[in-house]
């Protein structure tokens, strides 16, 4: 079946470095994507979204890139801070069908 | 913080117990969701309610019984659960036609 997945389960970066978290999806009909951040003991929190008619979208310190050719989504975090330590997962949407990735745990080293 | 609250935050129950999880949203949304989050697994959608009507039930065992008395409140009634049901249960809400969901902090459930 089709699924949403992440390339790496864990990512460790130095404070101040940039982070890149990847997500692969296999449903070419998906037209909307969201990145969520989930800190320990909390529910997922919306970070940024992108529609399939775009290939890049920027927020505050975060950028999402969408490559529909290879069905790949990435989240870039600039100047990673200790407060960015969390699990990040992507979600893909196709009409009313949504699927979530398992998540990547980002650890920021001081 | 997100406008979605869940109680209790932690729950330990035996397999013969009956308990209920509660979710309340203060955002004026009309869709509410229950998810199960197990370690190292993707979020699993359990139930969806739109305008108090259940619109989705993803093959969830009958030992989980949802209730949505109004657009602001959602319950998940638990009965004769199994140890493998231990997980974080998340509630979320959204506006109709909006894919962005706002999540509560979850209830950490442990079934002994």
Residues of A in contact with B106 (CB under 8 A): 42-43
pLDDT higher for B39 or B24?
A: B24
Minimum-distance CB partner of A93 among B90, B99, B104: B99
Q: Is the pLDDT of residue A96 over 80?
A: no
Q: What is the structure's pLDDT at B1?
A: 67
DSSP B47: E
Burial zone of A13 (CB within 10 Å; 0-12 exposed, 13-18 middle, 19+ buried): middle
Q: What is the structure's pLDDT at A97?
A: 79
Chains A, B: CB contacts under 8 A, how many? 41
CB within 8 Å: A43 and B40: no
Chain B, 18 to 57: residues with Cβ < 8 Å from chain A are 40-43, 45
Is residue A5 within 8 A of residue A99, CB to CB? The reply is: no
Interface probe with A: pick from B5, B42, B100, most Cβ of A within 10 Å: B42
For residue A26, the cross-strand partners are: none
A52-79 pLDDT per residue, tens:
999 999 999 999 999 999 999 999 999 9
B26-78 pLDDT per residue, tens:
999 999 999 999 987 889 999 999 887 888 777 899 999 999 999 999 999 99
Q: Is the pLDDT of residue A107 over 90?
A: yes
B4 touches chain A (CB under 8 A): yes
A31 touches chain B (CB under 8 A): no
A48 touches chain B (CB under 8 A): no
Distance from CA of B109 to the nearest CA of A (A): 13
pLDDT higher for A8 or A51?
A: A51
Q: Could you tell me which of B105, B34, B111 has the C-alpha nearest to residue A40?
A: B105
Could you count the other beta carbons within 10 Å of the beta carbon of residue B16? 8
């Amino acid at each position: 079946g089709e699924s949403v997945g992440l390339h790496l389960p864990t990512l460790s970066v130095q404070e101040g470095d940039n982070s890149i978290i990847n997500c692969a999806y296999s449903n070419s009909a998906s037209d909307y994507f969201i990145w969520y951040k989930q800190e320990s003991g909390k529910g997922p929190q919306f970070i940024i979204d992108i529609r399939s008619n775009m290939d890049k979208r920027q927020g505050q310190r975060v950028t999402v890139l969408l490559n529909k050719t290879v069905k790949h989504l990435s989240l870039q975090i600039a100047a990673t801070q200790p407060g960015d330590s969390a699990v990040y997962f992507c979600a893909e949407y196709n009409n009313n069908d949504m699927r979530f990735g398992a998540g990547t745990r980002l650890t920021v080293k001081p | 913080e997100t406008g979605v609250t869940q109680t209790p935050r932690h729950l330990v129950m035996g397999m013969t117990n009956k308990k209920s999880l509660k979710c309340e949203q203060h955002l004026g949304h009309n869709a509410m969701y229950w998810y199960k989050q197990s370690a190292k697994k993707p979020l699993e959608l359990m139930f969806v309610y739109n305008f108090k009507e259940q619109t989705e039930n993803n093959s969830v065992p009958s030992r989980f019984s949802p209730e949505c008395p109004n657009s602001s409140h959602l319950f998940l009634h638990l009965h004769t659960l199994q140890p493998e049901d231990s997980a974080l249960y998340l509630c979320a809400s959204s506006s109709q036609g909006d894919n962005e969901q706002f999540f509560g902090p979850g209830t950490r459930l442990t079934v002994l």
